Amino acid sequence: MTRRFHSKRTPGSMGVFTLMSEAKAAASAEAGDPVVDLSVGTPDMPPPAEALDALRAAIEDPSAYKYCLRHGTMPLLTEAVAWYTRHYGLVDLDPATEALSLVGSQEGLAHLLMAVADPGDGVLMCDVGYACYLPAAHVAGVAPRFLPLRRDGSFLPDLAAAESAAAARSCKALLLNYPNNPTSAVADYGFWAEALAFCEEHDLLLINDNPYVAQVYSGDGLAASPLSLPGAKARTVELFSFAKSYQMGGCRLGFALGNADAIAALEAVKAPIDFNQFLGIQQMGIACLRLPQERLQVYTRMFCSRAAALTAALREHAGWATEMPKACMYVWTRLPDGFSDDTAFCLALVAATKVAVSPGSGFGPGGAGFVRFALVQPEDVLVEAARKVGAFLASPAADELRAADAAASAAAASSSAAAASGAGAAGANAAANGIGPGQQCEEVLAAL
């Protein structure tokens, strides 16, 4: 296909996700059991009954079908601020200037990058994160700068490392996502205080993409929120979504809270693009925000139970040691011993077993060698999927894949050794700091 009408901002294909979509379609066409799709993080339960009741009422209201300008979103934003104040104690948020309705947090994040950074500016992020972050940066024309991760397995960035300070130069924002997709990592208030201090030192906007705010497995289920820290409003925006906590993924509704200047910039960018979400869906959101936290804990306990069932079944039936997650609706794990190519593994797995999982490399360069299971099926289905994975690992097809991975790893090691012998200090510095100042997003996207 020609690219005559593709701008330089147009991302390429979604890479491994396009491959997985095609692989799932091919597996579905085969006779036998249906595909067990654990590759997409879309909840499998209906929204709360109160939300559905609100939608039914709105459907019968002719005024709900008009264009929804800013004033039309104020009931939702007022409720969002009340929800945040109730749970986090920040009492001086102004829904008129420090809150904004979003057509999902994904839309909000993409437009926020356009609003707060100019083409060529840098945005700090981890090298493993939600799959849309790199394409969104590409569309905004900003350059991702990867932060080194701590070596303790927490999947938190090491903000104290010298590389982090070096990477912050020429950057406008620090983009984080905790609780995290795909790793299910969580951040406590100690980390958020460190992140806020880092942003103050380097004059950055702190962005926390927070769709999993109510899906922490411990305590009351609510995640730590950086916006609630003293002084955080001066340089923090958090993005919230109804997709995960309220099972409303297809409804596309969210909201942003935080710094008034950044919120105003985001509103200005969105103004020529959308007229906000359908009022009936906003009424669903209002009904959800009024629910007690105990109702959301029912969903969270279910995902926790599913995670426990899957990790135990993978150990028992596949000999695959996987750690229990702390939050969200995913199990993130390294490939079993003997495998290194996560994309090849996932393609072979779905072809052989009709169990589809996500290759880790689709979530950034730091995800290579990992896979993500989405906990979007009942426990019995997850256990049966683990049995099929175990059968695959014991099959000749898996042995062939192990041999191919071993050969590829040996060739890559030989090539790296040759390249290292000719590399100077500048090359080592570029590798330490992620993407260099002159490197374009296309190079990262092409590698995924």
**CATH number (domain holding residue 377):** 3.90.1150.10
pLDDT at residue 404, rounded to an integer = 95
Chain centroid, CA 298 distance in Å:
22
Q: How far is CA 434 from CA 115, 163, 364, in A?
A: 24, 9, 11
CA-based nearest residue to 337, from 432, 419, 240, 402: 402
Q: Looking up tokens 């932060």, which residue turns up?
A: 147
- CA distances (Å), origin 282, targets 55, 58, 102: 9, 10, 10
For residue 99, what pLDDT is reported?
Answer: 98
Q: Which of 330, 87, 298 is nearest to 186 (CA)?
A: 330
**pLDDT value of position 19:** 83
Q: How far is CA 184 from CA 287, 303, 327, in A?
A: 27, 12, 5
Q: Write down the pLDDT at residue 432.
A: 39
Regarding whether 317 and 182 lie in a shared domain, the answer is no
Domain shared by 362 and 239, yes or no: no
Residue bearing tokens 């008034």: 260
Q: CA-CA distance, 62 to 222, in Å (whole number)?
A: 37
Asked if residue 104 and residue 217 are part of one domain, the reply reads: yes
- Tokens 């903000």 -> residue: 159
Q: What is the pLDDT of residue 438?
A: 32
CATH number at residue 114: 3.40.640.10
Tokens read off for 419: 């390249």
pLDDT of residue 421: 64
- Structural tokens at position 191: 């980390």
How much is the pLDDT for 443? 42
Tell me the C-alpha to C-alpha distance, in Å, between residue 291 and each of 49, 87, 229, 246, 384: 11, 12, 25, 10, 34
pLDDT, averaged in runs of 10, over the chain (448 residues)? 83 76 92 92 93 97 94 97 94 95 96 97 96 94 93 92 90 98 97 97 97 96 96 97 94 97 98 94 98 95 97 97 96 96 96 96 94 97 98 96 91 72 48 37 40
In a domain, 441, yes or no: no
In degrees rounded to 5, what are phi and psi of residue 297? Answer: -65, -25
- Asked, for residue 257, whether it belongs to a domain, the answer is yes
Shared-domain flag, residues 274 and 248 = yes
Closest by alpha carbon to 237, among 123, 121, 120, 388?
123
Are 55 and 198 within one domain? yes
Its domain, for residue 329, covers 16-46+294-402
Structural domain includes residue 418? no
